[in-house]
Each structure stands twice: as structure tokens, then as C-alpha cells.
Amino acid sequence: MTTLADLTASTPGLPCRTTDPELWFSKSSSERALAQALCRECPIQLECAQYALDNRDVKGVWGGTTAADRRSFWDGRPWRFDERGRLRLECGSVSAYHAHFTYREQPCGACAAAFEEQLLAERRRRLGVEHAKGGSTTGYHLHRRVGEPACPLCLGAMRAASAAARRRKAGRGLQRARAASGAPASAETVNGAPAAVQPLALAG
């Protein structure tokens, strides 16, 4: 197995060997930025960065990464360098999807697909909860969001809710009509259901 020490010994012209090495351990942010820029021209940058990520005790700039950069990847998440040389999450996950917005850029196709997959899984989980309740209007809308016809339980709940809404609307309309004509509203009308029609009393 080739180690980083083997690579540095066998690779000529490494920036950290041809330039003052103190630059890579400077406390100056501008000097650290210069060291990072030099690292991006190094043929073993990736190997050097991986070594630093695997060994938390190393200090300074390694493979174009600072200690602060590397700290975010100590959990072993896959990483990459973007076109500007920044240490980033490897694309294709929900975390990387949100990271795109942090960098003020649109998510790539792989990250967008990962986000949609998680969103679909969450909607199906919620749909299972609604089914356990015997179906609901929420379940009906979740069916629509996942792009499938509603099941009989959720469809029935939606139809029942729509019918109840129509009855309430009709009741309110009748109540307004009675109020406009000066007739008192019955208790049934106030509660949203049309009052039953009463027969007219005949004069004796």
C-alpha cells in the first residue's frame, strides 16, 4: 500500500517542498489562502487531503484544506473539491442538496433526486398513518402528492367531507335568505342543516 510519505518522496516539485513550508502552518488567513491555492496545483492533493481527514491531530493546511474545513468531515461523510477548490459534500444526498443553497447555487440532478426520494418516503409514511386512522382528507391529498389515485378509504373520507361542506353552505344560504325576509331561523338552520318544511295551518 502506497502511503502519503511514499508519494511525497517520489513526486517531484511539490509546492510544500519548493516553497517555505511555514506558509502551510501560518496563523495569517491570507497566507493560509495562498497555501491552499498552491495545493490546488499539487498532483497529490487528493491523497494529502484524505490523509488529513483520516488523522485528526494534523495541523495546518493539507491538500488545500484547513483544520476548520476538515472538522466538518470527521464523521466520515464522502467529500469532494468543487471547481473553486472548496471542500464539499459529495453530491447525491439530502445534506448535499441543502448545501447547494448554502453556496447560493441550484441543486444538481443527483442531489435533487435524493431530496425527492426522501420527500416521497416521508409522504408515504404519513399516508400510512392516515390509513391506520381509517382514511382521511389528509390521506386523499397525500395520494395526490405522490401521484396516485386515492384509495377507497381516503376517497370516501374526501367525499363525506365535501358533502358536509355543501350542506353547511346550503344551510348558511337558507339562513341568510330567512334573515333577509324577516323570518326567524330555526335551530336546525343555525346548525347548518336546512329546516324541514312545515305545513301551513288552515283556518277553521
In tens, the pLDDT along 179-203 reads: 888 766 555 544 554 544 455 455 5
In this predicted structure, what is the pLDDT of residue 143? 96
In this predicted structure, what is the pLDDT of residue 103? 93
CB 128 within 8 A of CB 118: no
**Within a domain: 28:** yes
Q: What angle do CA 152, 158, 162 make, to 5 degrees?
A: 140
What are 26-82's pLDDT values in tens digits?
999 999 999 999 999 999 999 999 999 999 999 999 999 999 999 999 999 999 999
**Within a domain: 57:** yes
Q: How far apart are CA 130 and CA 128, in angstroms?
A: 5
In this predicted structure, what is the pLDDT of residue 204? 43
**Within a domain: 189:** no
**Within a domain: 42:** yes
Q: Are both 12 and 71 inside the same structural domain?
A: yes
* Statement: residue 175 has pLDDT above 60: yes
pTM, two decimal places? 0.69
Maximum alpha-carbon separation in the chain: 122
Q: Are both 63 and 16 inside the same structural domain?
A: yes
**Within a domain: 35:** yes
**Within a domain: 157:** yes
**Which range marks the domain in which residue 54 is found?**
4-76
Q: Are both 62 and 117 inside the same structural domain?
A: no
What are 114-170's pLDDT values in tens digits?
999 999 999 999 999 999 999 999 999 999 999 999 999 999 999 999 999 999 998
| Torsion angles phi and psi, residue 8, rounded to 5 | -65, -35
**Within a domain: 82:** no
* Number of folded domains that form the chain: 2
**Within a domain: 99:** no
Cβ atoms within 10 A of the Cβ of 153, count?
Answer: 16
